[in-house]
Structure 1
Amino acid sequence: MKFIIEREQFLKPIQLVIGAIERRHNLPILANMLLKVSQNALTLIGTDMEVELVGQVSLTQTAVDGSTTVPAKKLLDIVRSLPDRSQITAEQKNNQIILSCGRSRFALATLPVVDYPHFDHWVADVEFGIAASQVRCLVNATQFAMANQDVRYYLNGLLFETKDNGLRVVATDGHRLATCAVALDGNMPEHRFILPRKGVLELMRLLEDSDELIQFALNRDTLSVKTASMMLTCKLIDGSFPD
């Protein structure tokens, strides 16, 4: 695997994808980020096995296909330390990836891609599009009432409800309750799901500067949110939210 990329192009998806990677972990592979080059595009994947973030960047220069996993925090620190508008060359050699930029050279140990966990293939029951600004409005109006580390695990997240032509979000910690709703185009099947706290936080990071139309896809266990260049996949909380 080999690719050449501008620092800013590389840094932004690393900063987003690393949000899924826990600093405290029992499996060494979970401290790593997966890098994959295929058809002149670079894909970056991070996961803690509950939340997965995937970013993709088009490569303007000819690249060599391949994949590996690298320590995410070290990769972020290196790329962030390099000069603005600099060009980075990344090349996989044996059990290392070599990052070169000007006179600087860094070597990171890699772990096999085959050991990297992935979400199993799943089929969506409900799909819909919504403006990123609407999602931010819904979450900003409700997340303050979301519980944190409550023994009633189903309160440690936001309830999303689709019905008729609307989407409603509800949060409660047992003492206070917040709700907010927006209209959607077309009639929606009735569906309820609880997005856990980490999924909520990563969703807001993903949509922070976005005004685009995003795509939601979900079934009873899993949610994915897709933008033009990123995708968040998250396991949902299996529980009954109080009425």
Structure 2
Amino acid sequence: MKFTIQNDILVENLKKITRLLIKNVSFPILENILIQIENGILSLTTTNLEIELVSKIKIITKYTPGKITISGRKILNICRNLSEKSEVKMQLKEKKMYVSCENSNYILSTLSADDFPNHQNFNHISNFHISSNILKEMIEKTEFSMGKQDVRYYLNGMLLEKKDNFLRSVATDGYRLAISYSKLEKDINFFSIIIPSKAVMELSRLLNTQVQLLNILIGTNSIRIYIKDLIFTTQLIEGEYPDYESVLFKEKKNPIIANCTLLKKSLLRAAILAHEKFCGIEIKIEKNKFKVLSDNQEEETAEDLFDINYLGDTIEISINVYYLLDVINNIKSENIILFLNKSKSSIQIEAENNSLNAYIIMLLKR
């Protein structure tokens, strides 16, 4: 194995994948990068056993094919301290990786590529294309509602499914739910999968790039996404996701329309004195007035008031202020629309003139 590559190109690609490197005494190869070169392509692979990232680089100079694993942190630190436009030469000799650049020379230990765990055999049951900005927006609109270390393990991730010619992303922690839709241009095979929360966060980071068309393959227990010269693969959560459609309002009557900016500022002012543990606030709506009240364990109180256009029956509810703020922070329209269900146990929130995103928050008992 032997090849030469420009240093800044190598560093750029190493940075994309080294976040997955983990310290593992019982499985030290997880601290390594799998380096493989064949057919004019240099592949750099990292994994934490749940997520795998592969970065591919075209090699235009002469090379000798092969594969091996070396310490990811060490090679990245070495290259970071070399000149950007310098040529890095790497050669495998007698189970050692020789790295040379200008006046610097290194000899690194290796571990066999045969022991590196990867997802080479990937069989998909569904395949589709979607713009990267659309998928990123769907993630951003829902990820904050995912469960965090919930014993109901299937809540610790995001549901992604194809239904009624729409791609849907859904997240819930049992107290709130977020759903986002995107119409698919072509019909594809049905699928319904749960992506782990860590993989969702990593994917969102990788989508901070220029807009491009993604190729997404759905496997039986994993998902693979091609992001230009990067391949993202993650295992899926096994389990049946809750029937989220039963929570969505079938009838939406007596809408409460409020200005997003005014509501957010009012909630932030009231949140200052909200109970530290329960984070609950009271909302009272009557006669064109929207009133927010809070109190805490030290018997301190806060009250804030602003005008809205509402002439319906008086509404009094209790809600987690930060759940509501999370929703408002993800709504870009000038106004927000709130609906209260018949049993007064939850509210559904939507942006004005946008039915592709919806949010449900369970209300607190008063």
Match of 2:68 in 1: 68
1:200 aligns with 2:200: yes
Q: Conserved in 2, the CA contact under 8 Å of 1:169 and 1:180?
A: yes
Match of 1:119 in 2: 119
1:97 maps to a residue whose letter is M
In the alignment, the residues of structure 2 paired with residue 107 and residue 137 of structure 1 have an alpha-carbon distance, to the nearest angstrom, of: 44
Q: Conserved in 2, the CA contact under 8 Å of 1:90 and 1:97?
A: yes
Change (3 A) 1:86 1:158: same
Q: Conserved in 1, the CA contact under 8 Å of 2:22 and 2:31?
A: yes
How many residue pairs were aligned? 243
Residue 120 of structure 1 deviates from its aligned partner by 5.8
Q: Conserved in 2, the CA contact under 8 Å of 1:8 and 1:85?
A: yes
Change (3 A) 1:39 1:121: closer
Match of 2:27 in 1: 27
Change (3 A) 1:170 1:25: farther
Structure 2, gaps ≥5 residues long:
244-366
Match of 1:130 in 2: 130
1:51 aligns with 2:51: yes
Note the aligned Cα RMSD (angstroms). Answer: 1.5
In the alignment, the residues of structure 1 paired with residue 14 and residue 23 of structure 2 have an alpha-carbon distance, to the nearest angstrom, of: 15
1:220 maps to a residue whose letter is T
In the alignment, the residues of structure 1 paired with residue 154 and residue 174 of structure 2 have an alpha-carbon distance, to the nearest angstrom, of: 11
Kindly name which structure, 1 or 2, has the bigger radius of gyration based on alpha carbons. Answer: 2
Residues 63-95 of structure 1, C-alpha deviations (whole Å, 9 max, x = no match)? 111111001111111122222222211111212
Change (3 A) 1:147 1:23: farther
Match of 1:40 in 2: 40
Change (3 A) 1:66 1:222: same
Q: Conserved in 1, the CA contact under 8 Å of 2:33 and 2:44?
A: yes
1:3 aligns with 2:7: no
Match of 1:231 in 2: 231
Residues 118-146 of structure 1, C-alpha deviations (whole Å, 9 max, x = no match)? 22623211100001111110111111111
Higher relative contact order (CA 8 A, sep 6+): 1
In the alignment, the residues of structure 1 paired with residue 187 and residue 153 of structure 2 have an alpha-carbon distance, to the nearest angstrom, of: 31
In the alignment, the residues of structure 2 paired with residue 219 and residue 28 of structure 1 have an alpha-carbon distance, to the nearest angstrom, of: 28
Residues 83-123 of structure 1, C-alpha deviations (whole Å, 9 max, x = no match)? 22222111112121121111111221101111111226232
Residue 43 of structure 1 deviates from its aligned partner by 0.7
In the alignment, the residues of structure 1 paired with residue 215 and residue 11 of structure 2 have an alpha-carbon distance, to the nearest angstrom, of: 24
Q: Conserved in 2, the CA contact under 8 Å of 1:163 and 1:188?
A: no
Structure 1, gaps ≥5 residues long:
none
Residue 25 of structure 1 deviates from its aligned partner by 5.3
2:17 maps to a residue whose letter is V
Q: Conserved in 2, the CA contact under 8 Å of 1:164 and 1:187?
A: no
1:94 aligns with 2:99: no
2:166 maps to a residue whose letter is G
Q: Which runs of 4+ in 1 moved over 3 A?
A: none
In the alignment, the residues of structure 1 paired with residue 141 and residue 85 of structure 2 have an alpha-carbon distance, to the nearest angstrom, of: 38
Residues 6-51 of structure 1, C-alpha deviations (whole Å, 9 max, x = no match)? 1121112211222333234520111111001112221111112221
1:82 aligns with 2:90: no
**How high is the TM-score relative to the length of structure 2?**
0.64
Specify the SS of the correspondent of 1:142: helix
1:162 maps to a residue whose letter is K
1:56 maps to a residue whose letter is K
**How high is the TM-score relative to the length of structure 1?**
0.94
Q: Conserved in 2, the CA contact under 8 Å of 1:31 and 1:72?
A: yes
In the alignment, the residues of structure 1 paired with residue 46 and residue 242 of structure 2 have an alpha-carbon distance, to the nearest angstrom, of: 32
